[in-house]
């Protein structure tokens, strides 16, 4: 193959391995596809069962299998586990299974998250948002750090936050406040990890999507919740003329942060928001 042709077909993550949580969901499956398209092998994790305070369904084991098939269909290797990011031991087991299979993990995408926005408000919704979105992200990074440092090859950690991690949106419900607090909380984690891990050339950044057309937003129960809260439902939220963006728009940003193209980018909160934040 001529040099130029070889260059063109080279993936941006060739030889790398990525660990992705919430991998069976709307954004998660999209990240998995995009990372695999660029040459990464994958370690994928999802809870694969619903959570009581969340009004829309979480992914099923079949949907996790679909994510696995996506990776295989792209000619990459994959290790998959059903695990809850709240369960540190289960998450460590999943991570270690990937490490055993591939010998390295270079990229971590802490994507699993819930929006427990209930019309019938419950304090438990606050706890679940904090446990999954904030503590789950902490667990996801913690299980990865020792092997990434030991490998001495640097790496990239991408935390999926939200526009609700940068401005005071989310409404006044227990779950909405928990969502906003947890999505702001992961920014504190991101900034601290970015400083702590820089000397190991491990970069840590967060992405902040506006509404994406996944189950989290499109489910009728969520539409009902948003409609009854004037703060959430008023006006067109984005500056650019688009109601919701596509999952792949966020995955492109995740891929860039994961790749060596962003090798000197760390500690950054990157909105993928069609101008939502700038408009506030």
Ligand X SMILES: NC(=O)c1ccc[n+]([C@@H]2O[C@H](COP(=O)([O-])OP(=O)(O)OC[C@H]3O[C@@H](n4cnc5c(N)ncnc54)[C@H](O)[C@@H]3O)[C@@H](O)[C@H]2O)c1
Binding site for ligand X (CB under 6 A): 21-22, 24-28, 46-47, 58-59, 84-86, 111-114, 132, 136, 160, 162, 209, 211-212, 214-217
Considering the complex, what minimum distance in angstroms separates the CB of residue 214 from ligand X? 3
Q: Which is nearer to ligand X, 157 or 212 (CB)?
A: 212
Q: Which is nearer to ligand X, 5 or 56 (CB)?
A: 56
Residue 275: how many CA atoms within 13 Å on its side-chain side?
A: 8
In the sheet with 78-82, reading across from the earlier edge strand, the strands are 78-82, 41-46, 17-21, 107-110, 155-160, 202-209, 269-272
Q: Which is nearer to ligand X, 53 or 259 (CB)?
A: 53
Give me the catalytic one of 56, 95, 179, 193: 179
Q: Which is nearer to ligand X, 205 or 214 (CB)?
A: 214
The secondary structure of the chain in percent helix, strand, coil, rounded to multiples of 5, reads 50, 15, 35
* C-beta of residue 254 within 8 angstroms of C-beta of residue 12: no
Catalytic residue status for 179: yes
DSSP 106-144: -EEEE--------SS--HHHHHHHIIIIIIHHHHHHHHH
d(CA 63, CA 131): 23
Q: Which is nearer to ligand X, 9 or 185 (CB)?
A: 185
Considering the complex, what minimum distance in angstroms separates the CB of residue 129 from ligand X? 9
Q: Is the dihedral of CA 91, 153, 161, 252 positive or negative?
A: negative
The structure tokens listed for 158 are: 């991408």
Q: Which is nearer to ligand X, 59 or 205 (CB)?
A: 59
Considering the complex, what minimum distance in angstroms separates the CB of residue 111 from ligand X? 5
Considering the complex, what minimum distance in angstroms separates the CB of residue 145 from ligand X? 19
What's the Rg (C-alpha) of the chain? 18
For 255-278, letters b (16+ CB in 10 Å) and e give bbbbbeebeeebeebbbbbbebbe
Considering the complex, what minimum distance in angstroms separates the CB of residue 165 from ligand X? 8
């619903």: which residue's tokens?
Answer: 50
d(CA 23, CA 127): 22
The structure tokens listed for 37 are: 């398209």
Considering the complex, what minimum distance in angstroms separates the CB of residue 205 from ligand X? 15
Residue 177 CA to its chain's centroid (Å): 20
Residues with a catalytic annotation lie at 179
């Amino acid at each position: 193959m001529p040099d130029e042709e070889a260059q063109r077909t080279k993936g941006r993550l060739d030889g790398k391995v990525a660990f992705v949580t919430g991998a069976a969901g709307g954004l998660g499956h999209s990240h998995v596809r995009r990372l695999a398209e660029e040459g990464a092998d994958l370690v994928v994790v999802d809870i694969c069962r619903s959570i009581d305070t969340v009004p829309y369904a979480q992914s099923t084991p079949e949907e996790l299998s679909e994510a696995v098939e996506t990776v295989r269909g792209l000619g990459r290797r994959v290790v998959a586990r059903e695990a809850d990011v709240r369960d540190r031991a289960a998450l460590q087991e999943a991570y270690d299974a990937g490490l055993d299979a591939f010998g390295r993990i270079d990229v971590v995408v802490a994507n699993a998250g819930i929006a427990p926005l209930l019309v019938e408000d419950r304090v438990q919704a606050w706890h679940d948002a904090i446990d999954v979105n904030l503590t789950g992200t902490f667990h996801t990074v913690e299980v990865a750090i020792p092997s990434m440092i030991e490998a001495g090859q640097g790496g990239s950690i991408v935390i999926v936050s939200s526009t609700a991690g940068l401005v005071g949106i989310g409404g006044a419900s227990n779950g909405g406040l928990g969502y906003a607090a947890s999505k702001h909380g992961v920014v504190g984690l991101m900034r601290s990890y970015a400083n702590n891990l820089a000397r190991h050339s491990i970069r840590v950044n967060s992405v902040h999507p506006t509404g994406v057309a996944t189950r989290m937003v499109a489910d009728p129960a969520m539409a009902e919740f948003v409609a009854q809260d004037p703060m959430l439902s008023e006006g067109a939220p984005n500056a650019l003329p688009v109601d919701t963006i596509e999952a792949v728009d966020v995955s492109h940003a995740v891929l860039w942060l994961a790749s060596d193209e962003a090798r000197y980018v760390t500690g950054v909160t990157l909105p993928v928001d069609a101008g939502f934040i700038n408009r506030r």
